[in-house]
Structure 1
Amino acid sequence: MNRNYVPIEGAYRFWFKELSYNTTKIDLMLLEYVKDCFISSNGGNALIDWTESFKLIKNEITTSRNVANREDAATRCFRVKNFLKILPTYEVLWMRKVWGIPSKKCPRCAIEEETWDHLWICNKNRAGDTESEIFKASLDEVLSQNVDIMDKDQKNQWKEDLWEVAATKSMIMGPENLIREITRGLINEKWWRTCKIRGQCKVLKDIFDVYLKEIQMQIWNRRCVETIESERQLGILKDLKRKKKRVDDGEEMMEKAEGEEKSENKKTRKKIKNIIKINLEENKKDDVFRLGIRDRKSWGSKVISNLVNT
């Protein structure tokens, strides 16, 4: 490719790689697991710092990429499943038709369905195991380790600013506040506005990292221990859950209906993908000459936004 008869070395290859990158990105955005983060977010996804959010989800805030051990693998596994809302709650296991799961009801409180949101508010959690209390403890723990960045008055003022942001309503998580977004691994850009002193951004990332670790240990891990013990008493063992499948009445009719629905959804996704690809190819060819533009990585989000608004 050339501009004003001056060859641009590697320009076409670069443009094609960007096109492939955005096509893959769009495929991810159209996943049912993250539909609420993009398609149904009413523009709320534009407020999320996705670069830092994915670092947090991949456990790269305080852990190097080169690290590979059992603890890091367990942390990454939890955070990715937590972000996609596919932690093995009873709702998820029921949908998968896992043997021995009688219903979607929470095995601990037996009152509400054990959804992803129910995990954090179940009345069987310990008294201090609430999101706000764990966030407060994480905040105090990290600040106590960083005494050189701020003095006492600055710390108190920053705490007030952080709690003010924490109380803000989330545009993605429905009626919940921004702490629920952190619970899922999403970092809203509003958090960065409180960082006015050098080093505060790094401290804030450490707070989020410690918070997710405590959420995993104090709520999820304890829930798993209690659930495994209650299932063992009922004779529901891990091997049986893996080998057997639950059989329901009218299962064949349901599977047929689900198959038709999946087929229809697949056709719809294919049509959307073709529309998006044409949009990218027709409207973004000129961007091969805008190699230094900052928003070139946000093409996928822009196309999705345009698609939702049409």
Structure 2
Amino acid sequence: MKAFNDENTDKNNFDNAYNVKIFLEILPVATLLNKRNPELYESGRCIRCNYTTETWTHIWICDQTETSIIQIINAVFENLKNKLDKIDFRINYNFHASLLYILNEKSKVVFNGRIFHEAIKGIVNERLFLEIEDKVFKDNIASFVEDIHDMARKFMWSERCKRFIEWEIRQGITKQMKKASKLYKSSLPSLGHDGKKKNIFISDVLQRWTGHYLNNDVAAKNIWYELGVEDLWKYNSLVTFRPSYYSSNFSILD
């Protein structure tokens, strides 16, 4: 996951907030907005495809996106290949196909998601190293994942937000109405059976990351994807999921 930037600027604070929200899957998607304020958002259905609910997982695989996740992966791979070519690092097989296959595998940490969903969060799955024990290659794979994270935000999340705002305007949902709803509603309790446990988990994660950064002489950018929080993440016991045929059968290889 992307590192905190501790310089106190509006942009850095905005970036840090996004990185936390995308990692914890609490971006303001339609299902979350519907749970937070059903009077304003009567349905959690995706306003782009109007086919299924808009969950965190769905926003990256919706077939009505202007830019698809496979387009991003392929563009980022070309950048990776160019970097490796410049240093004359050769792999004697089609590692593009290998990376695509791995990215398309079902994730063990993202419910109803794929390994490319992990990359969108900024998580470097060790399988992407292709069992190559070379630091230069591993560093480039880490950059590959970071580029997927950045481009997904720039070309997919930003585009989704633009279209969602346009939809809100058509529905007559104003900024004043949303601000008023925040005085009485919170998104966190709606994420699971026990809002208190969810808040404790978020607090524990942030304390671990910031504490590790303050107490150790390490690069801040490494904390997000090297420091584990698996013991804190009791995700399936906190969140109620509805099965999604759409996401279960999605493939970037189709």
The two structures have a TM-score, normalised by structure 2, of 0.64
1:81 pairs with one of 9, 16, 21:
21
In structure 2, relative to structure 1, the CA distance for the partners of 1:300 and 1:89 (3 Å cut) is: closer
Q: Tell me, which stretches of 5 or more residues in structure 1 are unaligned? A: 1-55, 60-64, 248-257, 270-296, 305-310
Aligned to 1:93: 33
2:76 pairs with one of 138, 144, 150:
138
Q: Is the 8 A contact 1:132 1:179 kept in 2?
A: no
Task: Report how far residue 124 of structure 1 moved.
Answer: 1.8
- Matched letter for residue 208 of structure 1: V
Larger % of helix: which?
Answer: 1
Q: Distance in 2 between matches of 1:121 and 1:300?
A: 26
Q: Distance in 2 between matches of 1:75 and 1:139?
A: 24
Q: Distance in 1 between matches of 2:167 and 2:17?
A: 24
SS at the partner of 1:114? Answer: coil
Q: Where does 1:140-219 land on structure 2 (aligned, <5 Å)?
A: 140-151=78-89, 153-154=90-91, 157-174=94-111, 176-219=113-156
- How much identity, in percent, do the aligned residues show? 21
Matched, 1:58 2:7: no
Q: Distance in 2 between matches of 1:86 and 1:66?
A: 22
Q: Deviations over 1:210-236 (max 9, x none)?
A: 111110111111111111112112221
In structure 2, relative to structure 1, the CA distance for the partners of 1:95 and 1:131 (3 Å cut) is: same
Structure having the higher Rg:
1
Residue correspondences, number:
198
In structure 2, relative to structure 1, the CA distance for the partners of 1:214 and 1:154 (3 Å cut) is: same
Q: Deviations over 1:30-49 (max 9, x none)?
A: xxxxxxxxxxxxxxxxxxxx
Q: Tell me, which stretches of 5 or more residues in structure 2 are unaligned? A: 185-189, 201-226, 235-254
Q: Distance in 1 between matches of 2:100 and 2:34?
A: 37
Task: Report how far residue 105 of structure 1 moved.
Answer: 1.5
Q: Deviations over 1:59-78 (max 9, x none)?
A: 6xxxxx55554444333222
* Deviant stretches of 4+, over 6 Å: 297-300
Q: Deviations over 1:141-169 (max 9, x none)?
A: 24324543334x53864434423432433
Aligned to 2:214: none
Task: Report how far residue 202 of structure 1 moved.
Answer: 1.3
Q: Is the 8 A contact 1:170 1:178 kept in 2?
A: yes
- Matched letter for residue 163 of structure 1: L
Aligned to 1:294: none
Task: Report how far residue 198 of structure 1 moved.
Answer: 4.0
In structure 2, relative to structure 1, the CA distance for the partners of 1:161 and 1:187 (3 Å cut) is: same
- Matched letter for residue 121 of structure 1: I
